[in-house]
């Protein structure tokens, strides 16, 4: 590949480090990099399908997709490549080629990135019982990954109960290990959990706060926060201070970016190269 032309579609994405990560990886491999941020929070009457159609027509390599369009991205392509079909969310669309009849291949590098981040930070440890706040696009990838990695139980809640039910069903169609719970029951799930996951926007610079009551934290063994702006959110700070093994959203971001680059280009990047290029991007977050 000589040129990678892509973009990021999502709301409130001005602080994203993805273009810088992909640019560094392109420079490493002598690939010309062209990238456009499509921040839908700044656009009126945004039409996701029309936008993707246009970029495909313009000859782009593909697009990366973030909140709140990951479910729409999977629907646009019709099927997922390299991830469980029941996930129902995609963050990377590649234009051209099979197997999709739409001429678009859909991937979820949040899913593969989370698995890689887990293995890097926690090795072969099993998740145990997990309590997860939030049921947006990234939560689908995390939920599916946790069940596939052998979580004994996954409890999910959200301000919109139907979304929690959808994520639980995507993660575990049998309903034996993943379940949606009412928010008023979340405290008991948190206290009984081995691991805690924040998959809400709480903790971001524009959405300060924490999805967990601090009084419920301390008996668990590990915690993960999907937020990476800032890297050390209030939730990460509290869980670390209580002795939990923590890994941040930036760890997921790094592994996601590397796998997104490989999905766009077919080129694998070594962990040492990824660390050298991407780790400095955490500064200032």
**Range 97-121 burial, b when 16+ CB lie within 10 A, else e:** eeebeeebbbbbbbbbbbbbbbeeb
Domain extents in the chain:
3-107+251-282, 111-248
Q: 63 in helix, strand or coil?
A: strand
The whole model's pTM is what?
0.92
For the ranges 26-35, 91-100, 217-226, the lowest mean pLDDT is seen at 91-100
pLDDT at 93: 97
Mean pLDDT, residues 116-124: 95
**Mean pLDDT (the chain, rounded):** 94
The more confident residue out of 81 and 36 is: 36
**pLDDT tens digits, residue range 132-159?**
999 987 899 999 999 999 999 999 999 9
Mean pLDDT, residues 161-171: 95
Question: Residue 99: pLDDT above 50?
Answer: no
Q: Give CATH superfamily name and number for 111-248.
A: NAD(P)-binding Rossmann-like Domain (3.40.50.720)
Contact criterion met (CB below 8 Å) for 83 and 259: no
Q: Count of residues for the chain?
A: 285
CATH class of the 3-107+251-282 domain in this structure: alpha beta
Mean pLDDT, residues 102-120: 92
Instruction: Examine domains 3-107+251-282 and 111-248 and report if their fold is the same.
Output: yes
Structure tokens that stand for 118 in this block: 């887990």
How many Cα atoms within 13 Å fall on the side-chain side of residue 54?
9
pLDDT at 97: 56
The candidate with the shortest Cα–Cα distance to 140, out of 215, 220, 83, 203, is 83
**pLDDT tens digits, residue range 26-53?**
999 999 999 999 999 999 999 999 999 9
Number of Cβ within 10 Å of residue 45's Cβ equals 6
Phi, psi of 178 (to 5 degrees): -110, 135
**pLDDT tens digits, residue range 172-210?**
999 999 999 999 999 999 999 999 999 999 998 888 999
């Amino acid at each position: 590949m000589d040129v990678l032309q892509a973009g990021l579609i999502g709301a409130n994405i001005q602080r994203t480090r993805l273009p810088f990560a992909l640019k560094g990886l392109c420079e490493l491999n002598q690939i010309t990099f062209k990238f456009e941020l499509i921040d839908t929070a700044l656009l009126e009457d945004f039409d996701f399908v029309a936008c993707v159609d246009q970029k495909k027509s313009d000859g782009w390599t593909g697009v990366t997709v973030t909140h709140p369009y990951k479910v729409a991205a999977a629907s646009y392509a019709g099927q997922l490549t390299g991830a469980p079909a029941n996930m129902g969310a995609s963050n990377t669309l590649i234009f051209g080629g099979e197997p999709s009849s739409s001429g678009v291949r859909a991937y979820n590098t949040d899913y593969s990135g989370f698995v890689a981040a887990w293995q890097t930070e926690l090795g072969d440890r099993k998740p145990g019982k997990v309590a997860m706040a939030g049921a947006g696009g990234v939560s689908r990838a995390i939920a599916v990954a946790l069940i596939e990695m052998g979580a004994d139980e996954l409890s999910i809640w959200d301000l919109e109960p139907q979304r929690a039910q959808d994520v639980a069903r995507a993660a575990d169609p049998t309903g034996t290990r993943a379940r949606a719970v009412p928010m008023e029951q979340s405290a008991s799930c948190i206290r009984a959990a081995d691991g805690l996951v924040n998959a809400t926007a709480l903790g971001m610079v524009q959405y300060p706060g924490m999805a967990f009551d601090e009084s419920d934290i301390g008996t668990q063994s590990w915690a993960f926060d999907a937020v990476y702006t800032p890297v050390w959110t209030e939730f990460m700070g509290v869980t670390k201070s209580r002795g939990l093994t923590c890994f941040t959203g930036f760890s997921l971001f790094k592994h996601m970016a590397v796998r997104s680059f490989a999905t766009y280009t077919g080129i694998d990047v070594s962990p040492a190269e990824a660390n050298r290029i991407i780790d400095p991007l955490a500064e200032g977050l």
